[in-house]
Amino acid sequence: MAKRGKNIVIATGIGVLLITVWLLTPADSGFKQPATWQRMTEPGALSAAHSHLENNCAACHTSVVGVETSKCIVCHANNESLLRRQPTSFHANVSSCKECHIEHLGLNHRPTNMDHSQLVKIGLRQLKAEHRPDHQSQQIAQKIEDWILSGSLKANPPHPHITPGEVLLNCATCHANDDRHFTLFGQDCAQCHATDRWTIPEFRHPSPTSTDCAQCHQAPPSHYMMHFNMISARVAGKPHAKVNQCHQCHQTTSWNDILGAGLYKHH
């Protein structure tokens, strides 16, 4: 009976040893399972772009610390298409990724959630981290934070679709190529636009009887060629109309809704 009990203890010990060895086996040893600390939680499947890292949590995470930007940079630092394009070139100066790039939401989920308020926080954090002898950066950052939280700014935002912090962003830095106003309204996009949409629900087009269309609308290239006199002006019955006199031919319902001719598309 004692011998049988001893055998059971030995067998149990061997089993525990084998399980321990299996759990501690690193992912690159030929086995498919990740190391122990990587299997202590199941946060969800990675996106398709990062699916090849499914069993290599250490590629992005550090135990106890979490996701580290330095590990993101290892793979994305040489992404020329990202850093050279005007709308995304700001990534070269952003020292944090996890605020906008969220993972473990599933294979079909794009790991990008653009959060402009997070950009403000990152910018202030970077400003505070700058080391200057007079601590000027920290003082500036603190004043900006106080200004954001001040009651006056909260009570008088540019419009209801933008937060006080987002007012600090220089929209033109990323969206200059999207400016359909050709800088005629300046570069402070936040005066009218929100950070989650370009459309402005409150916008009302000026009266159809307005004659100042050219203040906001740029004529197409064809209007500066022979095409304008030969076809466009004739179709509208205004052979003497000038390019900047949009109201002579067009209606505010649609550019192709021509006065006296109705909807007409000739391009």
What does the pLDDT read at residue 72?
92
What does the pLDDT read at residue 155?
53
Q: What angle do CA 223, 251, 220 make, to 5 degrees?
A: 20
Strands 250-251 and 254-258: antiparallel
- The CA distance from 138 to 171, in Å, is 24
What does the pLDDT read at residue 166?
85
- The CA distance from 214 to 210, in Å, is 10
Q: How many CB atoms lie within 10 A of CB 88?
A: 13
pLDDT tens column, 44-70: 899 999 999 988 888 999 888 889 999
What does the pLDDT read at residue 10?
57
Spell out, as residue ranges, where the chain has pLDDT lower than 50.
21-22, 27, 29-32
Contact 169, 116 (CB under 8 A): yes
What does the pLDDT read at residue 31?
46
At residue 21, the 3 state secondary structure works out as helix
Strands 250-251 and 61-62: unpaired
- The CA distance from 124 to 135, in Å, is 14
pTM of the model: 0.61
What does the pLDDT read at residue 132?
63
What does the pLDDT read at residue 138?
66
pLDDT tens column, 191-207: 889 888 888 888 888 88
